[in-house]
A and B are shown apart, each in its own frame.
Chain A
Amino acid sequence: MKLRLRWLIPLAALPVVGLLAYGFRTDPRAVPSPLVGRPAPAFTLTTFDGKPVSLESQRGKVVVLNFWASWCYPACYEEAPALEAGWRQFQSKDVVVLGVAIQDKEPASLNFIQRFGLTFPNAPDPAGKVSIDYGVYGVPETFVIDRKGVIRQKHVGGVTDTVFRESVEPLLAEKASTGGA
């Protein structure tokens, strides 16, 4: 009886230790998005220069939808040049980079756009509807949407050229129509 009890205590502690070991290795901020693999929610926004931009109008192209804010330092500041470079490189290859400024003041957003010389369309999301529709919980977050309008990847944190190479470029080979050739 005594022998059994002596083993029982470390044995009971084992699953707890295992759970803690697992828990401390995972990033509590990384939340898997249930939207990956689903059709991207539709939206229409007005860019800072007054042009309407909708997801529907980009159908057939690979869309890099980036949520950012001017107060998001340093991640958004680090990724802005990479986004602009990706846009310039892939613009002619059916890739659209779309920026959505969330929870931001317009003058600050415009400053940010000017500072990095961003030439891809950028729009504010005044009521936060688009960002909530995409399950955004922080900035920067970036969604890669394929030619059929399906969210293929959600990237949390700053975008680098690796994202364009590994997540965007492979999607260009896919056909836009579901029927195929």
Chain B
Amino acid sequence: MGFVALAVVAGVHRTAFAATVSDEDVQAIASQLRCVVCQNLSVADSPSEMAHQMRALIRERLAAGDRPAEVMTYFVQRYGDWVLLAPPARGLNLVLWLAPFGAVVGGLVLVLTLVRRWRQAPIAPSPATAPVVGAAERERLAAELERLRD
């Protein structure tokens, strides 16, 4: 008797759980999936009928007890990694994930190298390129200074 009651409660609980798949849970998965009929839109953001059907399917699978990861796998098995907005970090995709860090490191190395080279270079201009102050300039400079003093 107690067992039956427990089973009934469990059954009720299961349906109650199924009914409470929140919009947030559906959106969380949908936002990680590429809308297959759009350009650069997620299933969560697309107003297309296909995306609408996919959101309904996500809800249905969650209600049936699938975990979010299992729902994602369901779509990947049918559409391939292409359906994921964030490509998985393995294989050739690693280039995508590592290239930005590589670029930052490369940029830092470049800046450091240049700064070091500038430091080593003589600060004073070499005599060959130094402007020659002629007699005319010297005369004018003296005149200007004289005027300032007044």
- A contacts, CB < 8 Å to B: 31-35, 103, 127-129, 131-138
Interface contact B57-A31, CB-CB below 8 Å = no
- B contacts, CB < 8 Å to A: 36-37, 49-50, 53-54, 56-57, 76-80, 82
Question: What's the minimum C-beta distance from B69 to chain A, rounded to whole angstroms?
Answer: 17
Across-interface contacts of B78 in A (CB, < 8 A): 34-35, 132-135
Interface contact A31-B50, CB-CB below 8 Å = no
| Bound-complex Cα distance A33 to B75 (A) | 12
Interface contact B50-A135, CB-CB below 8 Å = no
Chain A residue at minimal CB-CB distance from B54: A132
Across-interface contacts of A127 in B (CB, < 8 A): 53, 56-57
Interface contact B79-A129, CB-CB below 8 Å = no
Question: What's the minimum C-beta distance from A32 to chain B, rounded to whole angstroms?
Answer: 7
| Bound-complex Cα distance A103 to B56 (A) | 14
Interface contact B80-A132, CB-CB below 8 Å = no
Interface contact A128-B49, CB-CB below 8 Å = yes
Question: What's the minimum C-beta distance from A20 to chain B, rounded to whole angstroms?
Answer: 14
Interface contact A129-B57, CB-CB below 8 Å = yes
| Bound-complex Cα distance A22 to B54 (A) | 32
| Bound-complex Cα distance A128 to B56 (A) | 10
| Bound-complex Cα distance A35 to B76 (A) | 10
User: 3 closest pairs, A vs B, by CB?
Assistant: A128-B53, A137-B36, A135-B78
Chain B residue at minimal CB-CB distance from A136: B36
| Bound-complex Cα distance A127 to B56 (A) | 8
Interface contact B79-A34, CB-CB below 8 Å = yes
| Bound-complex Cα distance A133 to B36 (A) | 13
13 CB < 8 A contacts A-B: A31-B79, A32-B80, A33-B80, A34-B76, A103-B50, A127-B53, A127-B57, A128-B54, A129-B53, A132-B50, A134-B78, A137-B37, A137-B50
Given A103-B50, A132-B54 in contact, is the A138-B37 Cβ separation under 8 Å? yes
Across-interface contacts of B37 in A (CB, < 8 A): 137-138
Across-interface contacts of B80 in A (CB, < 8 A): 31-34, 135
Known: A34-B77, A128-B50, A128-B57. 14 other contacts (CB 8 A): A34-B76, A103-B49, A103-B53, A127-B53, A127-B57, A128-B54, A131-B50, A132-B50, A132-B54, A132-B57, A133-B78, A137-B50, A137-B79, A138-B36
* Residue from B49, B76, B79 having most chain A Cβ neighbours under 10 A: B79
Chain B residue at minimal CB-CB distance from A38: B77
Chain A residue at minimal CB-CB distance from B82: A31
